[in-house]
């Protein structure tokens, strides 16, 4: 199977490249190289800006079975600062690419959407996280469904929850787990603004790659589908801090008012692990440790 990944050298794209290239012919369009690894064997790289690329020419010379749209430049918080700019950079650009694919390629399209921003399958915007980011993701889903039904072509939106793990930048603006671990290793202050109010689903990147690779390999039944990729493991930032603290002491790096809470949760984790209880907690802790070990290697 021939797979094209658009903007495929970031955190998720790099992991997908590794996974998909084992059994498929993978081409990546990105002006950037992988940040934390060398070029991946059996992957064809087109080092150009995915936003201004000549897709018509590419499709006239190459056949692709599947095309994965990963390109997006912001997140919910940053998108609200410049909503119109975010719309132009992400929504307009992706719709233009989708239009090119439908006109000049026969490939099935897979769009990376967001479970956290669009967690309701009914697509009712009033029930979503209100941001330019979520409005943009929902807009692409709506256009993709419209194109699919008009052209009678198959496409799918993958609503991904919060991934973490290898190749996620600990110095970036997204990924609370990677950022907390990166600060812990460098003995830098860990800022925690949310406590119990916000609990989110977190999924290890290895599982993300496995699930998405499986989704892409499966035949689609309908012209347009939405699928969720999540773990079912829901944690608050205090839970995350406690899991990290279990492996690396971070008590001196967190806000003073939260020290006792995090210590208390860490002790509970220790009891759970000693008694071999709660498989989900143990699995999450193991994934946190793997992420810690990887971030240590790059620092």
pLDDT means per 10 residues, the chain with 299 residues, are: 98 98 97 96 97 97 98 90 94 98 97 82 53 92 97 96 97 94 97 75 97 95 94 92 97 95 94 84 96 96
Cα-only R_g, the chain: 20
| Contact between 97 and 155 (Cβ < 8 Å) | no
Q: Which pair of structure tokens corresponds to residue 279?
A: 């498989």
pLDDT at 123: 47
Number of helices (H), then strands (E), belonging to the chain: the values are 11, 10
193: left (phi over 0), alpha (psi -120 to 50) or beta: alpha
Q: Tokens 């399958």: give the residue.
A: 121
Q: How many CB atoms lie within 10 A of CB 229?
A: 20
| Contact between 155 and 111 (Cβ < 8 Å) | yes
pLDDT at 124: 45
Q: What is the dihedral of CA 272, 277, 280, 283, to 10 degrees?
A: 70
Residue 244's nearest CA partner among 193, 296, 197, 207 is 296
Q: What is the spatial distance between Cα 33 and Cα 179, in angstroms, rounded to a whole number?
A: 22
| Contact between 176 and 240 (Cβ < 8 Å) | yes
pTM of this prediction? 0.93
Burial of 35 (0-12, 13-18, 19+ CB in 10 A): middle
Q: Which pair of structure tokens corresponds to residue 53?
A: 């690329």
Q: What is the spatial distance between Cα 95 and Cα 20, in angstroms, rounded to a whole number?
A: 25
């Amino acid at each position: 199977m021939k797979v094209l990944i658009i903007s495929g050298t970031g955190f998720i794209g790099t992991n997908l490249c590794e996974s998909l290239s084992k059994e498929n012919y993978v081409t990546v369009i990105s002006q950037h190289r992988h940040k934390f690894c060398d070029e991946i064997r059996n992957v064809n790289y087109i080092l150009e800006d995915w936003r201004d690329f000549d897709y018509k020419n590419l499709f006239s010379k190459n056949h692709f079975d599947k095309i994965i749209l990963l390109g997006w430049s912001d997140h919910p918080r940053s998108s609200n600062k410049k909503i119109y700019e975010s719309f132009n950079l992400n929504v307009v650009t992706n719709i233009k690419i989708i239009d090119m694919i439908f006109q000049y390629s026969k490939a099935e399209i897979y769009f990376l959407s967001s479970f956290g921003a669009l967690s309701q399958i009914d697509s009712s915007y009033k029930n979503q996280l209100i941001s330019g980011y979520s409005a943009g993701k929902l807009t692409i889903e709506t256009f993709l469904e419209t194109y699919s039904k008009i052209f009678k072509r198959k496409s799918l939106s993958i609503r991904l929850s919060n991934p973490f793990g290898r190749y996620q930048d600990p110095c970036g603006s997204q990924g609370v787990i990677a950022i907390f671990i990166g600060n812990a290793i460098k003995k830098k202050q860990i800022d925690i603004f949310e406590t119990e109010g916000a609990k989110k689903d977190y999924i290890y990147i290895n599982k993300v790659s496995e699930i998405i690779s499986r989704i892409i390999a499966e035949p689609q039944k309908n012209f347009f589908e939405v699928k969720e990729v999540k773990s079912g493991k829901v944690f608050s930032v205090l839970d995350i801090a406690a899991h990290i603290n279990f492996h690396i002491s971070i008590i001196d790096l967190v806000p003073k008012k939260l020290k006792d809470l995090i210590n208390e949760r860490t002790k509970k984790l220790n009891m759970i692990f000693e008694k071999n209880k709660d498989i989900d907690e143990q699995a999450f802790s193991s994934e946190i440790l793997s992420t810690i070990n990887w971030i240590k290697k790059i620092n």
